[in-house]
Amino acid sequence: MNARPDVGKVYLVGAGPGSLDLVTLRARQLIEQADVVVYDYLCNPAMLAWARADAEKIYAGKSGTAHTLSQDEINALLVDRALAGRQVLRLKGGDPYVFGRGGEEAQVLVRAGVPFEEVPGVTSAIAAPAYAGIPVTHRDFASMVTFITGHEDPSKPDSALDWRQLAQLRGTKIFLMGVERLRHITRRLIEEGASPETPVALVRWGTTTRQESMEGTLATVADLVEQRGFKAPAITIIGDVVKLRRELNWYEMLPLFGQRVVVTRTRQQASALTEKLVRLGADVLEIPTIHIVPLPWEKARIQQLERIAESYDWLVFTSPNAVELFFAEFFKVHPDIRALGNMNLAVVGPATAHKLAELHLKPKIQPKVYTTEKLAESFAGQELSGKRFCLPHGRLADPLLADHLRDQGGVVDEWIIYDTQPEKADPTGTRARYIHEGAHWITFTSSSTAENWHALQLSPASGMPRPKAVSMGPVTTGTLQKLGYEIAAQSEQATLDSLVETIRHLGIE
Ligand code: SAH
């Protein structure tokens, strides 16, 4: 359909209601490919990480606030970039055609001769109630559902909504954008004959880990919203289906729902811990404290790598990063893994072992307790005298292991292959959220994360919860105590699962 090959295309894509789990496959594929991404306030900013690093990312914002583009400016931008031959992704919260002005944007594109595709999304109008335990229809309670804009001023005589008709309508009523005008909406419905006892629920930031919900009736809900300071963006559900919440509220019943947990790891490493916590319902703030900077390989080092099988008896890895960066360089030099020869491998713990397993390599030594000290002790049964060790690691690696191997007569080469630097960027706004809203728990998986976090000197605004520290392993605990942190708990084992289990217990207490 693209008649003019020099013209790009605009994809009007639903970003879903907020949770990354609820994005369509087509949306993800298009985000990965786009030249330009124009996104909204309601799109989960974590999705932008899927975009190409060189893609142009433009925040179109939320209507009615500063730092946003007007609808005309957005339209002009989409047309302009597409006519310049770019593939433009217009990402909109929920579904583009449900109160998203997607229809208007599509019309503008058609009139400008710009080809477009529309990708439906999971609308918050259905998903947010579902995540608060409310099916929008149910044979016993509602056989129809109406989606209504709350943007209309109900007191306007020329309102596009017929309030009498709405009040008499059966089934479920779902208001979007209705929080600010909730008092008018509920009053008008009661005035026009709806029962004041009709159940009402509101769901804020539905399906995300920061979801909040509340309940009342047409008569009481406006006061309750005011008392709680409950704010947009929220879906308002009016009707008997709200009663099902008591039985069906699976999401808010997850063990860590409502618990905000800070995860301090590098951007590359955070996801495994975050995933485990999110599955238990926690609101995770991933705040990277450092990032890994691979160091350039010198010529002499590359020559050593060329002869690695002849030069060493043992290759020892103390971090997944080291495995990744070592083998990235290894495969540049050797096309075949067998160039490792009969090399013995040792790792500090399961995450590092997992990285090796991806290459179908199995370590000979892996201590049961995952510390450098235990790794050093695990060599006890081996003949070390005269054996040659290669230790590729970061600049801040614990010297204990190399010292121990040397003490036992080993010949040890330490290869510093990466450095760590403090993370200053806050592309997803998570740091800002931590400062505004605080958190309940903060996880530390190593001494260096503790030190790096401390160096950032971030603290929540006054009145907001200050997180209690949960540490993985005795060394990390020691470092935290030295830095003056109060430890809520130390995980039984130095694994992510054990850490998560510890928080789960604390969260329930
Ligand atoms: N196209 C969007 C709706 C855009 S109108 C969709 O299909 O979901 C903006 C309104 O959507 C907000 O005022 C709020 O009422 C609702 N909304 C969007 N995301 C939401 C979420 N995660 N939780 C609650 N309400 C949400």
**Nearest ligand 1 atom to alpha carbon 149:** 5
Residue 1 lies in a domain: no
Closest CA to 21 of 258, 274, 264: 274
Are 332 and 234 in a shared domain? no
- The closest-lying atom of ligand 1 relative to the alpha carbon of residue 96 is 1
In this structure, the answer to whether residues 415 and 431 fall within a common structural domain is no
- 144 among known catalytic residues: no
Give the pLDDT score at 3.
54
Strand arrangement, sheet containing 116-119 = 56-61, 36-40, 87-92, 9-14, 116-119
Whether residue 98 lies inside any domain: the answer is yes
Question: Is the same domain home to 105 and 180?
Answer: no
**Looking at residue 392, which CATH number applies to its domain?**
3.40.50.10090
**Residues of the domain holding 36:** 9-122
Among candidate residues 57, 62, 374, 468, the one labeled active-site is 62
- Ligand 1 binding pocket includes 100 (Cβ within 6 Å): yes
Q: How many CB atoms lie within 10 A of CB 158?
A: 6
In a shared domain, residues 72 and 133 = no
Count of structural domains, the chain: 4
Choose the residue to mutate in 47, 124, 213 for probing ligand 1, maximizing ligand atoms within 8 Å of C-beta: 124
**CATH of residue 226:** 3.30.950.10
In the residue annotation, 92 being an active-site residue is answered as: no
- Note whether 203 and 132 are within 8 A (CB): yes
From 419, 445, 463, the end of a domain falls on 419
The answer to the question of residue 500 being in a domain is yes
Domain membership flag for residue 207: yes
How far does the centroid of ligand 1 lie from the alpha carbon of residue 204, in Å? 9
Residue 158 identity:
D
Beta carbons within 8 Å of 259's beta carbon, 6+ residues apart: 281, 282, 283, 440, 441, 503, 507
How many degrees, rounded to 5, is the angle at CA 330 between CA 325 and CA 336? Answer: 135
**382 with 460, same domain?**
no
209 lines ligand 1 (CB under 6 A): no
DSSP H helices, 391-473, are 400-407, 430-437, 447-456
Asked if residue 203 lies in contact with residue 237, where contact means CB atoms within 8 angstroms, the answer is yes
Q: Which of 177, 276, 355, 387 is catalytic?
A: 177
Ligand 1 pocket member 93 (CB < 6 A): yes
- Position 3 in a domain: no
Task: Indicate the top mutation candidate among 42, 63, 174, 210 to test ligand 1's pocket, ranked by most ligand atoms within 8 A of CB.
Answer: 42
Phi, psi (degrees; rounded to nearest 5) at 133: 85, 20
The pLDDT value recorded for residue 100 is 84
CA 477/CA 489 separation, integer angstroms: 9
In a domain, 114, yes or no: yes
Q: Give the containing element (helix H, strand E) for 236.
A: strand 234-238
Q: Tell me what pLDDT residue 135 has.
A: 98
CATH code of residue 19: 3.40.1010.10
Asked whether the beta carbons of 50 and 13 are under 8 A apart, the reply is no
Is 233 close to ligand 1, i.e. is its CB under 6 Å away?
A: yes
Cα 333 from Cα 331, distance rounded (Å): 5
| 116 and 28 fall within a common domain | yes
Q: Starting at the edge strand that comes first in sequence, how are the strands of the sheet with 468-471 ordered? A: 283-286, 260-264, 441-444, 468-471, 487-490
Residue 332 near residue 301, CB atoms below 8 Å: no
Helix-helix angle 299-306:320-333, to 10 degrees: 80
- The closest-lying atom of ligand 1 relative to the alpha carbon of residue 18 is 22
Å from CA of 136 to ligand 1 middle: 15
276 is catalytic: no
Same domain, 427 and 500: yes
Q: Which helix (H) or strand (E) covers residue 500, if one does? A: helix 496-508
Rounded to whole angstroms, how far apart are CA atoms 153 and 214?
23
146 and 163 housed in the same domain: yes
Cα-to-centroid distance, 67 and ligand 1 (Å): 20
Cβ–ligand 1 distance for 186 under 6 Å, the answer no
Tokens of 299: 């010529």
CB of 356 closer than 6 angstroms to any ligand 1 atom: no
CA distance readout (Å), 51 to 29, 32, 89, 198, 426: 9, 5, 10, 45, 17
Residue 166 backbone phi and psi in degrees, to 5: -60, -45
Q: Say yes or no: CB of residue 95 within 6 Å of ligand 1.
A: yes
Question: What is the rounded distance in angstroms from the CA atom of residue 497 to the CA atom of residue 289?
Answer: 21
Q: Does a structural domain hold residue 341?
A: yes
In short, whether 237's Cβ falls inside 6 Å of ligand 1 is: no
Which helix (H) or strand (E) segment holds residue 83: the answer is helix 71-83
Q: Do 301 and 410 belong together in one domain?
A: yes
Q: At which of 70, 95, 122 does a domain end?
A: 122
Domain boundary among 107, 122, 137: 122
**184 and 116 part of one domain:** no
CA 44 to mean position of chain CA atoms? 8
Residue 349's pLDDT is 87
Distance 200 CA to ligand 1 centre (A): 17
CA of 253 to the centre of ligand 1 (A): 23
DSSP letters for 129-177:
HHHTT--S-BTTTBS-EEEEES-S-TT-TT-SS-HHHHHH--SEEEEES
For the CA atoms of 394, 397, 401, 404, what is the dihedral angle to 10 degrees? 110
Same domain? For 305 and 380 the reply is yes
Nearest to 201 by CA among 135, 123, 129: 129
Instruction: Give the mean pLDDT per block of 10 residues along the chain (509 residues).
Output: 75 96 97 96 89 92 69 94 96 95 95 97 98 97 95 75 93 95 96 97 96 97 97 97 97 95 74 90 89 93 96 95 96 96 94 94 91 89 93 91 94 94 80 94 88 90 94 91 92 89 85
Residue 311 tokens read as: 């030069």
Is 497 found in the same domain as 413? no
Residue 326 inside a domain? The answer is yes
